[in-house]
Amino acid sequence: MMSSRLALTIGCLLLIASCLHAQPTPVNLNNPTNATPGSLGLSWSQNQDPNFARYELRRSTTPGVTLGSTLAATIPNQGMTAFTDTGLTPMTTYYYKVFVFNQMQQSAGSNEVQGTTLGGGGGGPTPVALNAPTNVGQTQLDLSWSQNQDPNFARYELHRSTTPGVTLGSTLVATIPNQGMTTFTDTGLAAGTTYYYRVFVFNQMQQSAGSDEVQGTTLGGGGGGPTAVTLNNPTNVTETTADLSWTQNQDPDFARYEVRRATAPGVTLASALAGTITQQTTVTHSDTGLTPGTTYYYKVFVVNTVDQSTGSNEVSAKTAGTAPPSLEATNVTDAAVTLVWTETGQADFGKYEIHKSLTQGFTPGPGTLVGQVAQPVNTVFRLQPLQPDTDYYFRLLVYDTAQQVVEQSDEA
């Protein structure tokens, strides 16, 4: 009987010791809420370990929070699973983890989350400066503004009115989610009419801030700016050329056509000059010397004898990529193979993907992906382990920066 009690006592002690030495159970940290210019609200699931000692909330302004990061709070109450982090910098992204400690000073970290404080001055976005309209024609004018730099940017909204005092209730001309896009051509306007404009910046909390108000007056019909032409979509697009054509301008004071291009939307008279054509009946132009695998945007501006101009609609075309890489399997052993290929000539290279299959003539997909290469100059990939006495087939895919497949090798 005594030995049975002793065995039971030893078993209980071992169980208690095992519990005391167990690693803490990590908690799940939720995304920050209630963001202000100087604070963020944090909350997490409750730890239920019997040997719980404390929570430590750590933060950093860069990804990868560790126990060496800034200590935001120490919380010894196991049931307290929320904390408001204050004294933060406006418009700054913070990264957080909650570390659970047990009584043996062992710790376990939560998942990492991030949150961005709002801009100063009440939490609204930083307004932009709207420039006076340019390239004014009878039915259109160009707008441009300074770029908003807020980390929680959501979109620009361009609003207009025919009377002073533009608000969010005025006509919505354009919604632009691209923070770097700071130009827009407003078309379909009435000749000889004054328009008023403002650009409103929205953040991710749907707060907005309006720019200064500017005005522009379109040219009068029948005696103002040139009549705009209609630009057709480019044709005969190769690696380095694209053919353009447009409708003929019939104005008696015609001076020239100016073909302008850019590698981003929003072509203006300040964009690269692709061609100047002084013959009114010549309505074609072949643009040469382009970069393979690149998207170009075009407008044709009609200029009259007093240097007034009117731009066409904007079109785009992507030049063809260079010849697809040549893929070769070398240094083949029973369990490995080295794949070598020629470097791509894609201007907007994103990555290489290597695919493997046991089936000849296979179609690459998620199930055949075996590797990725991020640098265009890295053209060697060692694949192992492989099964001996097995036939494998390989393909190389080239992606652009938009994560679209632009080239595919032959099968090796």
Of the ranges 162-171, 245-254, 297-306, 323-332, which one carries the lowest mean pLDDT score? 323-332
Residue 85 CB partners (closer than 8 Å, separation 6+): 39, 40, 41, 42, 57, 59, 72, 73, 94, 96
29-116: which CATH topology? Immunoglobulin-like (2.60.40)
* Confidence label for 120 from pLDDT (cuts 50, 70 and 90): low
Amino acid letter for position 311: G
Chain centroid to Cα 356, Å, comes to 30
- Taking residues 138-143, report their average pLDDT: 88
Tell me what pLDDT residue 14 has. Answer: 46
Pairing state of beta strands 295-304 and 309-311?
Answer: antiparallel
Which residues is 75 bridged to in the sheet?
55
Superfamily the domain 231-318 falls into: Immunoglobulins (2.60.40.10)
Q: Report pLDDT digits (tens) over 194-226.
A: 899 999 999 988 888 999 888 888 876 555 578
Percent of the chain scoring above 70 in pLDDT? 91
* Segments making up each domain of the chain, as ranges: 29-116, 130-217, 231-318, 327-408
Q: Which of 2.60.40.10, 3.30.420.40, 3.20.20.70, 2.60.40.2550 is the CATH number of 130-217?
A: 2.60.40.10
- The arrangement of strands across the sheet holding 369-373 comes to 369-373, 349-357, 393-400, 405-408
- Within this chain, domains 29-116 and 130-217 share the same CATH topology: yes
Of the ranges 114-118, 187-191, 222-226, 289-293, which one carries the lowest mean pLDDT score? 222-226
Tell me what pLDDT residue 231 has. Answer: 93
Q: Is the pLDDT of residue 307 over 90?
A: no
Residues belonging to the chain? 412
Tell me what pLDDT residue 340 has. Answer: 92
Tell me what pLDDT residue 345 has. Answer: 74
Q: Which residue has the higher pLDDT, 393 or 409?
A: 393
Q: Is the pLDDT of residue 159 over 60?
A: yes
Tell me what pLDDT residue 154 has. Answer: 92
Tell me what pLDDT residue 5 has. Answer: 57
Tell me what pLDDT residue 138 has. Answer: 78
Q: Which of 2.60.40.10, 3.90.380.10, 3.40.190.10, 2.60.40.1930 is the CATH number of 327-408?
A: 2.60.40.10
Highest-scoring range by mean pLDDT, 89-93, 296-300, 321-325: 296-300
List, as one string, the DSSP characters of 112-179: -EEEEPPBTTTBPPPP-PBPPPBS--SS-EEEEBPPP--TTEEEEEEEEESSS---TTSEEEEEE--T
